[in-house]
Amino acid sequence: MRATKDTTRIRSLLLRWYRKHARAFPWREASAGAYLILVSEIMLQQTQAPRVAELLPAFLDRFPSVHHLAQATNAEVIRAWKGLGYNNRALRLRDAARAIVADHGGSIPRDPELLITLPGIGPYAAASIAAFAFDVPTVVVDVNVRRVYSRLASPQPLTTDLLPDDMVRQFGSHMLPRRTPPSEWYNAVMELGATVCMARRTACEACPLSSVCPSAHTITVPTGRTSATSRGRTPEPMFRGEPRRLWRGRIVAALHQHPEGRTRSAVIREVFTSLEPIDVSFVDDLLDRLIKDGLLQRIGQRYRLHE
């Protein structure tokens, strides 16, 4: 797929809009170095930007450099990750810092091919860190970029319609400006996707690209709900109407202030507070998985954050 003949116009309209409407975030500041970009990219994978902006400074105070982070124990980095959820990411980020120190002399690689060899860094994160930290002109495709590019590349009847990944990448490679830093370009596309051209709602009437977008004003929200299963994803196990990951996070949070650890009964009392009978096998499965993931350890009858 080729970029539309309006490529130049799309670029200039979007960049002009972004320079006027961009939300201020630490990772968008000119002074944001590669380390801040690396940390924020991992945080942003599954946590909303305003929440990351709120918690990032404390994490950076605690671990001001890749060398400090590399020396952190599991428990130390999990505590510093408090409030961000998906605690496994904290351990993978620390492991990436260790690999950067051990294999790259403490300098974060700029080449996506090297970045992807770091623990916890997948293809998206590698491209994203290269683009945002070093302005490497690479194709970055996250959920926001994919959605916006799909709608700009060809008319999309429904908000759930997306182009295949290879077509999005081809369009993205044509769309990437030659004279604008890739970091600014991707911030602009992602900002549009986060605030105007959203997953379930499109504000075409307020969009700077409505005059050049083939989906403008015609794209509609599908009727009826599409379940995770029908979209091909395995539904997350639930307990008391809430996904398992929330219960995992609550157990880890409950152990933050107890370096001496807590018994299973104490964990159950604190986390599963209702008077309903508790399914102990569910709790044991959660605890076992948290131990396997390196987040907890068991000392005798007590569970604590992995030191």
Nearer to ligand SF4, 148 or 188 (CB): 148
| Residue 201 Cβ vs ligand SF4, minimum distance, rounded to whole Å | 9
Q: Is 307 one of the catalytic residues?
A: no
**197 binding ligand SF4? (CB under 6 A):** yes
| Residue 145 Cβ vs ligand SF4, minimum distance, rounded to whole Å | 12
Nearer to ligand SF4, 114 or 204 (CB): 204
Where in 198-257 is the site for ligand SF4 (CB under 6 A)? 202-204, 207, 209-210, 213, 215-216, 219
Nearer to ligand SF4, 213 or 287 (CB): 213
Nearer to ligand SF4, 61 or 205 (CB): 205
Where in 76-135 is the site for ligand SF4 (CB under 6 A)? none
Find out whether 185 and 197 touch, Cβ atoms under 8 Å. Answer: no
Stretch that binds ligand SF4, among 1-9, 76-84, 88-96, 195-203 (CB under 6 A): 195-203
Nearer to ligand SF4, 7 or 210 (CB): 210
Nearer to ligand SF4, 47 or 144 (CB): 144
| Residue 11 Cβ vs ligand SF4, minimum distance, rounded to whole Å | 13
Catalytic residue among 41, 54, 76, 191: 41
Per-residue buried b or exposed e for 137-155, using 16+ beta carbons within 10 Å of the residue's own CB: ebbbbbebbbbbbbbbbee
**151 binding ligand SF4? (CB under 6 A):** yes
Task: Tell me how far CA of residue 285 lies from CA of 179, 253, 279, in angstroms.
Answer: 53, 17, 10
| Residue 53 Cβ vs ligand SF4, minimum distance, rounded to whole Å | 24
**190 binding ligand SF4? (CB under 6 A):** no
**138 binding ligand SF4? (CB under 6 A):** no
User: CA-to-CA distance for 208 and 304, rounded, in angstroms?
Assistant: 51
Find out whether 94 and 72 touch, Cβ atoms under 8 Å. Answer: yes
| Residue 211 Cβ vs ligand SF4, minimum distance, rounded to whole Å | 8
- According to CB under 6 A, which one of 34, 196, 287, 290 is a site residue for ligand SF4? 196
| Residue 159 Cβ vs ligand SF4, minimum distance, rounded to whole Å | 9
List contacts with ligand SF4 (CB under 6 A): 148, 151-152, 196-197, 202-204, 207, 209-210, 213, 215-216, 219
Residues with catalytic annotation? 41
